[in-house]
Every structure is written in structure tokens, then in C-alpha cells.
Amino acid sequence: MPIKEGIYGLIAEFNTPTELVQATEAAYQQGYRRMECYTPYPVEEAAEALRFHKNRVPLMCLMGGIMGLLTGYGLEVWINVWGYPLNIAGRPLFSWPAFVIPGYEWTILFAGLSTAFGMLAQCGLPQLYHPLFNAPNFRSGALNDKFFLCLEAYDPKFSANETRSFLESFSPISVVEVEL
């Protein structure tokens, strides 16, 4: 469903995380799916209320580690067997115990980098602008002591009047329309 012109969504401001979690649960029960909670510190119950459980960062870390191991080990094998073979004291060119340490180091390097960049990609960062920055109540309270629930206009169930009355039924401090 196309977004309504000029509206990103509606944001409700709450004083406590309990109120936020109750409103989020009710919104999910009513059929809203495009919503997000904003809190000054992590609230695990809010993540559960949003049904946010999929996290692909561990898989990215594993894949990066495997790629690092194959890259490091492959590089050592290529250098010592084909690229620049040296016969040192009659030892074999393919001596896998010597390749373990560089392979391990490449594994750690690739796993760490893929985790860091994967986490940034999954979070959508860096994001220098977001429509919520235009909401005056969000600017003043998001980092300090307020809790916010934003129902986005992308949601098929979103209707400006009905969604506003739904959010106001929880007695929030304010309900503000967020412009794009």
C-alpha cells in the first residue's frame, strides 16, 4: 500500500515502559504490523511485543569466519605450494600445521569485520536522517526519559483518524503526526 503523502506515521509518547509494552501488544492484536518502539534504554518486553526475534548477525559472523579460514588457509597453501615454494631442510611444501595460525587469525579478522558491518547493515546504519527527527516531542524526550510507539503509514491498517483514536485510548502524554 502506498504511503499517504506527507505522513510518516503517528507517534505516541508514554511515561513508563509498561504503558509502552501494553500499547504495543494491543496494536499487534489489532493487526498493526508496521510499528516501532523507541526507548532511552533497552526494553526486552517491547522487543517481544513487536515480535522481533530474527537476528542474522550470528549467521553473518559464522559465514565471515568460514570465509576467513578458507582465505587464510588458501593463501598459505597457494604461497607455499605454488606461488613461491621453498625447500627448507627437506620438509614438505604442504605442511598444514604451519598454516593453522594464519588461518585462525584470518578467521578472527573476517568474523569480526563481518559482524561489525553486518550489524550496521541490519540496523540500517548510518542513517543521517529519519522523519521522526521532525517530531518535537521525540527530539526532547527520546534520549532522556520518554517511551515512544510509532505506527507507520506504510501499514495497510493505518488510517490517520482511526489510528489516532486507537493510540489516544491508552492515555499517552501526546500523539503527534509525523511528517515525511
The tens digit of pLDDT for each residue in 15-40 reads 999 999 999 999 999 999 999 999 99
Instruction: Evaluate whether 103 touches 72 at the Cβ level (below 8 Å).
Output: yes
φ, ψ of residue 154 in degrees (nearest 5)? -65, -20
pLDDT score, position 114: 97
Q: What is the pLDDT of residue 2?
A: 52
Q: Over the stretch 155-169, which tens digit does the pLDDT of each residue have? A: 999 998 999 999 999
Q: What is the 3-state secondary structure (H, E, C) of the chain?
A: CCCCCCEEEEEEEECCHHHHHHHHHHHHHHCCCCEEEECCCCCHHHHHHCCCCCCCHHHHHHHHHHHHHHHHHHHHHHHHHHHCCCCCCCCCCCCHHHHHHHHHHHHHHHHHHHHHHHHHHHHCCCCCCCHHHHCHHHHHHCCCCCEEEEEECCCCCCCHHHHHHHHHCCCCCEEEEEEC
pLDDT of residue 140: 77
Which ranges of the chain have pLDDT less than 50?
Answer: 1, 4
CB atoms within 10 A of CB 109: 15
* Positive or negative: CA dihedral 156, 157, 158, 161: positive
